[in-house]
Amino acid sequence: MLPEGRPLPGAVKQRVGHLLPGGLRSAAAVSGLLLLLFYVSSFNYRYSQDSSDLHRPVALNWRALWPLSCSPMASTPTNLSHIVFGIIGSLNTWKGRKAYVESWWRPNMGFGGAGFAVSYPLVAAMAEKLDGCIKRYPHSRTADYLIYICILDLGIAISPQKGFHQIDLLGNIAGLLSSHPQSPLLSLHHINIVDPVFPSMNRSESINHLMKPGRVDQSRLAQQTICYQREMNWSVSVSWGYSAHIYESILPRYILRKPIETFRPWMGEAKWPMFMFNTRPGDSTNPCEVPHWFFLESIQLGNEDDIVTTYSRAAKRGLIPCSLGGNHSADHIDRIQVFSPAKTRLE
């Protein structure tokens, strides 16, 4: 249970909810959770299995996928360490660690929404000034933007991290995850809104399946590698631990780095440009541009200190072969195996 006398989420809402008469009370309440996190992180957290749902896995409670390396001694793939597993979820993971709060702001903060990590000292500074900040901006309608402008009022700049994903998108985000930037995948939000990331599974099964390669090597998860099979005139793109594409033509890397627009904008009335990153059309019928899609089937350790990921075909393309450079159809390919060294390079 929380330390005696410390606020629960409802108490935080009661404290700060009235400060936004012209905005959403929920925005103030979520912003006020910074106070709760700051207070709780000052104590050794002890929880009861019967007390509440605050310790449930974040993927179920907060609809988010968070960093998998939760041990204080575990190596991290970024300069961010000890990221909290959610806003309130999984409080039991805090014991003996630095407190980090994760909140969100959309523009210019990374790839498709992204976000920022708030350090313990910054939370401490904001805890003293948050009430006044909320009063100054009564018409703020989202907690992420409210926290952002409060941080700016403290004179603090924000460093972008491209692995945070707000996922302010709808539909199928496979195109996004298949062309992830060269930055470790740190979090996925709104996964209860988008389609399952694996087409043959439901949402819960998809997240559990995606966690399998993440447990083997989080730093590689969804990292894109591009190569070419010159004899067949193919381009191959692999999003490690998630998907693989075969294109029946040689396409330059700058094109393959762009996500395929398999998704829709969060706001139905959005106007061009609809996304904060460049995309490729998702409705093309050109057989030289449309990939054969393969998704992760299994991951296992090989015989020679390597990792073997197997990707199986999602469905037939339903298009004629590309005629550029000869007729080299990939329709007969059902599986792709990728061999990766088990040890990552230090330099």
219 belongs to a structural domain: no
Give 188's strand partners: 65, 165
Q: Would you say residue 205 has pLDDT above 60?
A: yes
Q: Residue length, the chain? A: 347
AA identity, residue 5: G
Measured CA to CA in angstroms, residue 179 lies from 43, 104, 235, 239, 258 at distances of 41, 22, 14, 7, 6
pLDDT of residue 202: 93
Same domain, residue pair 239 and 160:
no
Kindly report the number of other CB atoms within 10 A of residue 132's CB atom. 11
pLDDT of residue 195: 95
Q: Would you say residue 333 has pLDDT above 90?
A: yes
Q: Would you say residue 133 has pLDDT above 70?
A: yes
Same domain, residue pair 118 and 239:
no
pLDDT of residue 62: 29
Core vs surface per residue 152-182: b (16+ CB within 10 A) or e: eeeeeeeeebbbbbbbbbbebbbbbbbbbbe
Average pLDDT over residues 273-298: 90
What is the helix (H) or strand (E) element at residue 103, kind and residue range? Answer: strand 101-103
Instruction: Assess whether the previous peptide bond of 184 is cis (omega < 30° from 0).
Output: no
Q: Would you say residue 180 has pLDDT above 80?
A: yes
Residue 28 confidence class, pLDDT cut points 50, 70, 90:
low
307 belongs to a structural domain: yes
126 phi and psi angles, rounded to 5 deg:
-70, -30
Q: Between these two residues, 281 and 103, which has the higher pLDDT value? A: 281
Same domain, residue pair 20 and 147:
yes
Q: Would you say residue 134 has pLDDT above 80?
A: no
Same domain, residue pair 157 and 231:
no
Q: How far is CA 140 from the centre of its chain?
A: 25
**Number of domain units in the chain:** 2
Nearest residue to 65 via CA among 99, 91, 92, 90: 90
Same domain, residue pair 13 and 124:
yes
| Highest-confidence segment of 92-96, 212-216, 311-315, 342-346 | 311-315
Segments forming the whole domain that contains residue 316? 224-341
Same domain, residue pair 64 and 146:
yes
Cα 132 from Cα 112, distance rounded (Å): 31
Same domain, residue pair 146 and 262:
no
Domain boundary at 116, 137, 164, which? 164
Cα 101 from Cα 27, distance rounded (Å): 16
* 3-class DSSP assignment, residue 216: helix
pLDDT of residue 90: 28
Q: Would you say residue 286 has pLDDT above 90?
A: yes
Q: Would you say residue 72 has pLDDT above 70?
A: no
Kindly report the number of other CB atoms within 10 A of residue 216's CB atom. 19
Q: Would you say residue 7 has pLDDT above 80?
A: no
pLDDT of residue 76: 45
pLDDT of residue 337: 96
Q: Would you say residue 45 has pLDDT above 70?
A: no
Q: Tokens 């090597």 identify what position?
A: 217
Cα 117 from Cα 103, distance rounded (Å): 7
CB of 102 closer than 8 Å to CB of 118? yes
Residue 159 confidence class, pLDDT cut points 50, 70, 90:
low
pLDDT of residue 54: 31
pLDDT of residue 266: 79
Cα 212 from Cα 200, distance rounded (Å): 16
209 belongs to a structural domain: no
